[in-house]
């Protein structure tokens, strides 16, 4: 493309909250064949809410929430923030905790009120040797509905399960339909579990779902798609997504997300609207075609 066409294209993008950082990004976006979308905060609002609290016999819901909130208090994760918010809403005080540690893509652990506690996805608890029993069936059912089930244990025994649900952004479904109509392969990439991810995928109209991806492995998934012959655009909002945004042929940060995501991206979508992804590719196609 001529410098003038690039300037015009870049200016048109900027007027619509699509900030293209380089001429190269605008050119490459034209050749994209595969669009990889992060789930949480990109397709969904990224504002999970507690929907279900289920305890094992002999425990009460408030006790479970108090334990969970005490454990999750130091965590920045949206699931953790939602649990703490629910405990506050119910007027529950947190218990003293120490030795807090996060396990990426899994959950958290700490000593709460003198007990060794952990909370996270069922996989994390199973790996730690906690017996889930019927809670596993309940977790599967909740996940089937698109909810994210988390389990909590104290001193190696299950206390209960808390499920959270996030909702699609209002324009996500239409944006994904538009990408497909443009002839692009759409893939959803998430650290969330397979069942939940598939349920959200169904709601959003994405049938290619890669779930259970640890934060450090998102980049690897993008590389795999490139090795399969795709020119890949990656869209994400989180710190977790930064290496994948860099790896992709075109990285798009959405919703003026985290600073790291914005720095790692080639294109920054200022609004939180997934519709700006097909718009950015259209912009690139228009810019490149005009000068040929």
Chain contacts with ligand ADP (rule: CB under 6 A): 38-40, 72, 75, 77, 79-80, 105-108, 119-121, 148, 150, 190-192, 215, 238, 240
Binds 169, which of Mg ion, ligand ADP, none (CB < 5 to 8 A, cut-off by type)?
A: none
50: closest CA among 117, 196, 150, 160? 150
CA distance linking residue 214 with residue 106, whole number of Å:
8
Interface pick for Mg ion out of 32, 38, 253, 287 (rule CB under 5 A)? 38
Helix (H, G, I), strand (E, B) or coil at 77: coil
In the bound state with ligand ADP, the residue whose beta carbon lies nearer, of 31 and 52, is 52
CB of 199 to ligand ADP, least distance (A): 13
Active site residue 192: no
Binds 284, which of ligand ADP, Mg ion, none (CB < 5 to 8 A, cut-off by type)?
A: none
Say which residue the tokens 């015009």 belong to: 8
Does the footprint of Mg ion cover residue 160 (CB under 5 A)?
A: no
CA distance linking residue 35 with residue 277, whole number of Å:
9
208: closest CA among 240, 176, 181, 182? 176
CB of 164 to Mg ion, least distance (A): 14
Does the footprint of Mg ion cover residue 40 (CB under 5 A)?
A: yes
In the bound state with ligand ADP, the residue whose beta carbon lies nearer, of 16 and 203, is 203
Work out the angle between the directed axes of helices 3-15 and 276-290 (0-180°, nearest 10): 160
CB of 188 to Mg ion, least distance (A): 11
Q: Would you list the DSSP string of 210-263?
A: E-S--GGGHHHHHHHHHHTT--EEEEE-SGGGHHHHHHSSEEEEETT--HHHHH
The backbone torsions φ and ψ at residue 176, rounded to the nearest 5 degrees and listed phi first, read -70, -40
CB of 110 to ligand ADP, least distance (A): 11
- In the 8-state DSSP scheme, what is residue 162? E
Of 38, 192, 241, 266, which is the active-site residue? 38
Query: Rounded to the nearest 10 degrees, how much is the dihedral formed by the CA atoms of 154, 74, 214, 243?
Result: -170
Which single residue brings its beta carbon nearest to Mg ion? 41
Window contacting Mg ion (CB under 5 A); options: 61-69, 117-125, 229-237, 247-255 = 229-237
CB of 181 to ligand ADP, least distance (A): 26
Does the footprint of Mg ion cover residue 249 (CB under 5 A)?
A: no
Q: For binding to Mg ion (CB under 5 A), which residues are involved?
A: 38, 40-41, 237-238
Residues carrying an active site annotation: 38
């Amino acid at each position: 493309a001529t410098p003038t066409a690039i300037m015009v294209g870049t200016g048109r993008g900027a007027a619509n909250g699509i900030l293209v950082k380089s001429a190269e990004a605008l050119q490459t976006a034209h050749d994209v064949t595969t669009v990889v979308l992060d789930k949480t905060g990109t397709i969904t609002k990224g504002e999970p809410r507690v929907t279900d609290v289920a305890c094992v016999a002999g425990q009460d819901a408030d006790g479970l929430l108090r334990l969970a909130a005490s454990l999750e208090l130091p965590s920045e994760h949206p699931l953790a923030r939602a649990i703490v918010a629910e405990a506050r809403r119910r007027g529950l005080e947190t218990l003293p905790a120490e030795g807090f540690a996060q396990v990426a893509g899994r959950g958290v652990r700490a000593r709460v009120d003198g007990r060794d506690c952990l909370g996270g996805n069922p996989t994390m608890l199973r790996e730690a040797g906690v017996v889930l029993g019927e809670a596993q069936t309940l977790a599967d059912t909740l996940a089937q509905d698109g909810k994210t089930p988390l389990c909590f244990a104290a001193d190696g025994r299950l206390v209960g399960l808390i499920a959270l649900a996030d909702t699609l952004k209002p324009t996500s479904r239409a944006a994904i339909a538009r990408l497909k109509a443009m002839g692009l392969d759409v893939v959803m990439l998430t650290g969330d579990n397979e069942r939940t991810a598939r349920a959200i995928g169904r709601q959003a109209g994405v049938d290619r779902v890669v779930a259970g991806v640890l934060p450090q492995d998102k980049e690897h998934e993008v590389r795999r798609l490139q090795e399969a012959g795709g020119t890949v655009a990656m869209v994400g909002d989180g710190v977790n997504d930064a290496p994948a945004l860099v790896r992709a042929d075109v990285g798009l940060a959405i919703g003026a997300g985290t600073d790291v995501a914005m720095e790692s991206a080639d294109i920054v979508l200022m609004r939180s609207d997934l519709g700006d992804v097909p718009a950015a590719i259209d912009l690139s196609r228009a810019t490149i075609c005009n000068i040929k």
